[in-house]
Structure 1
C-alpha cells in the first residue's frame, strides 16, 4: 500500500517575552502523518520481476539510525530514553540517544537534520535559531511535549486545601486567608531574590490584595526553598508557595495548584518589573515546549512522525517520573525501563496506527 502524506496546517506560535525574553516564533506544522499500511513487500521468486510493485513502502523507521537528543536536564533525559525504547520495541528502529542542549541541538537540526528528534524543545528560548530552521524546512514540531503549557504557579499542601476550599483560586484568597492561621499571616515561600519569579510573586501578592495576609519568605537558593516547603509540610503548617513543573517535589508531596486565573500578557509585563505602579492579576505565561523532529522524519518515515504526534505526556506523569529518578540508584535508563514496563496505559496510544 502506498503511504500518503499531506501537509495541511500552518500554526502561529506566539511566545511570551515577559519573563524569559522570548521572541515570536512562526512555524509550519504538518498535522497528519499517514501511518497506515503494512510492512515491506517481498518479491515472489515465482513471478516475473516486473510483477513486483515498485512502490513498496520502506521499513517504518527507514534505513538510517534514529538519533534522539538527551538534553542536560532530567526530564528531557528521561523522555529521550523512553522514546528510544518504544521505537526499538514497536517499530524495530535503530535508535541512539546522544547528548544535546537547546541552542546546539536546534542549530544542528537546522543545518544537518541531526539529531532526528529532540523530545523537549523549549522553542521560545531559542527562537532566533528555531525560526530559521523551520523556515528552511529542516525541522518541524510534532506536538506539545506536555499536555499543559503553563509550567509555573502557586501551590498549597492537600491538607490545607481540604479544610480551606476558598484557597482554590486566586480570587478567593483575600477572603479565605484570615481564617487559615487564626488571624495571623500565612507564610508564602517565594523563589530566591535573583530569580525573575521573585519579582512577579511579590507584585502578584500586591495585585491580589494579600500584602497584610501573607508573610513572604525569600529563600537563599533552591535547596533552602525546598527545605522550607518540606519542613512546613512535615509539621502540617499552613503554607503557600511558588513552584514550577515538571518537578519531583510536586509528586513527592501531595500538593494542589491554586488557580491564578487567566493569563494577561500586559498585566504580566508589569508584574515582571521591580517597579509596577498598578499591578493587576495574571497567571504565569504559557511556554511552548514541543517534540521537535527533523523534516526528513515526516517525509521519509511518516509512521514514526505519527508516533511522535501522539506522544504528549501529562505534566503530573513527568513529576512522577522525576520522583522515581530521585530514588537511590535510579538513572534515566532505569526510569524509562520502568515506564515502558508499567505504563502501557499512557504509551499504548502513542504506538497505535492511524493519524494522531
Structure 2
C-alpha cells in the first residue's frame, strides 16, 4: 500500500480551500437597503424573500435613500447591498469607492427600460408613427395645442423645486422651442403633472412632456419615450449648464438626455463573504414593463414593498425563476 504524507502547509492549504468552497455554498447574514421609493422597496423585499427562503440567508432590511445609503456603505460598509442605486446622484464618489475597493457593482442593469426623458401618449404615438424622435416632435407644435394659447404647442415640464425643472427649462432654451412655437408649461406639483397625463389619456387628447421610468404612471398610461436624434453633448454641458439654474447656464447646448444608470452595489465585505447570494444578484434583472405593472399594483392597492414582493413572486414566476436554480425556485415556491 502506498502512503502519501502531506506536509502541514499542504494540509492547511486544503483546509483553507475547503473553507472557501463552503463559504461560497453558504449565505449567512445579508443586510439590504430598503430605499424610500416604490420600485426600490419592491426589489429589496423580493431579494429578502428569495435569499431567506431559497438560500437560507439571514436578511435584514435597512431603511435608506440614495445619498444616505451610499454614504453609509462607503464609510461604514453597511448595509451590504443597495439593490437600486441611481448612480448619477453619486457618480464621482462612487467611482472613487470602486477604484479604492470599498464598493463594487454586481449588476449594472437590474431594471430594463428605465430612464428620464420626453414622452407622448401611446394613442398619439399610434396616430403619428412618423413622429418617432424628439426633434420631429419639435417641428409640430400644432399637434399638441396649449389649452390657454392654442396657437402654441404645450410642453409639460417639471414642478418648480425639482431638479428636472432646471433641466427641462434649459433644454427648452437649447432647442429654441419658444421660437419653434412651443410653450413651457409648469404643472405646479407632482399631482398636477400626473393629473395632466391622466386627463389627456382619458380624454384622448395629445400630451408631450417630461416623465421617468420605472413609475406607476408609465405603467398605467403606457406613455412612449421619444429618443433624441441629437447626440450627447458631454458632462461639461450637462452638469455644468443644463442641470443648473438659468443664471448659471447662459449658453445651453442641445443634447440628448443624460443616460440614467442604476446598479446593484455591494460592499467589499459582501464580495468577500456573500457566497451564493452574489450569483443571485448578478442574475436578478426586472423587465421594465413588469416593474411598471408592479408599481401600478402598489399604487392601486396601497401595497407596501413586502405585499408587492409576494404578489410579484406569485404572478411573475416566469421572470424570477430565471434568476435561480430549480431547487432554489422550488424552495421559494413552497414558502409562498
TM-score w.r.t. the length of structure 2 is: 0.78
Match of 2:182? 214
User: In the alignment, is the contact (CA less than 8 A) between 1:109 and 1:133 conserved in 2?
Assistant: no
Alignment of 1:260-339 (within 5 A): 260-261=228-229, 262-265=231-234, 266-268=236-238, 269-272=240-243, 273-274=245-246, 276=249, 278-339=251-312
Q: 1:244 aligns with which of 204, 212, 232?
A: 212
Distance in 2 of aligned mates of 1:202 and 1:129: 28
Match of 2:196? 228
Shift of 1:112: 4.5
User: In the alignment, is the contact (CA less than 8 A) between 1:72 and 1:101 conserved in 2?
Assistant: yes
CA RMSD of aligned residues (A): 3.0
| Structure 2 CA distance for partners of 1:63 and 1:200, relative to 1, 3 Å | closer
Match of 2:61? 97
User: In the alignment, is the contact (CA less than 8 A) between 1:155 and 1:241 conserved in 2?
Assistant: yes
Shift of 1:141: 1.2
Distance in 2 of aligned mates of 1:196 and 1:342: 35
Match of 2:168? 201
User: In the alignment, is the contact (CA less than 8 A) between 2:141 and 2:154 conserved in 1?
Assistant: no
Q: 1:114 aligns with which of 78, 82, 89?
A: 78
User: In the alignment, is the contact (CA less than 8 A) between 2:114 and 2:288 conserved in 1?
Assistant: no
Structure 2 gap segments, 5+ residues each? 1-10, 327-336
Distance in 2 of aligned mates of 1:308 and 1:233: 37
| Structure 2 CA distance for partners of 1:63 and 1:314, relative to 1, 3 Å | closer
Task: Give CA deviations for 1:161-184 in whole Å, capped at 9, x if unaligned.
Answer: 111123320221244443565984
Distance in 1 of aligned mates of 2:104 and 2:208: 39
User: In the alignment, is the contact (CA less than 8 A) between 1:150 and 1:286 conserved in 2?
Assistant: no
Q: 2:119 aligns with which of 146, 155, 179?
A: 155
Shift of 1:146: 3.7
Match of 2:314? 341
Distance in 1 of aligned mates of 2:185 and 2:59: 47
Shift of 1:84: 0.8
Distance in 1 of aligned mates of 2:281 and 2:270: 10
Structure 1 gap segments, 5+ residues each? 1-49
| Structure 2 CA distance for partners of 1:69 and 1:216, relative to 1, 3 Å | same
Distance in 2 of aligned mates of 1:279 and 1:127: 22
Shift of 1:130: 3.7
Alignment of 1:131-210 (within 5 A): 131=95, 133-147=97-111, 151-178=115-142, 184-210=151-177
Distance in 1 of aligned mates of 2:242 and 2:68: 32
Match of 1:37? none
| Structure 2 CA distance for partners of 1:80 and 1:173, relative to 1, 3 Å | same
Shift of 1:135: 4.7
| Structure 2 CA distance for partners of 1:278 and 1:135, relative to 1, 3 Å | closer
Distance in 1 of aligned mates of 2:80 and 2:66: 14
Task: Give CA deviations for 1:181-226 in whole Å, capped at 9, x if unaligned.
Answer: 5984332211113333233323333443432433321122111121
Distance in 2 of aligned mates of 1:60 and 1:267: 45
Normalized per residue, the structure richer in helix is: 2
TM-score w.r.t. the length of structure 1 is: 0.74
| Structure 2 CA distance for partners of 1:101 and 1:197, relative to 1, 3 Å | closer
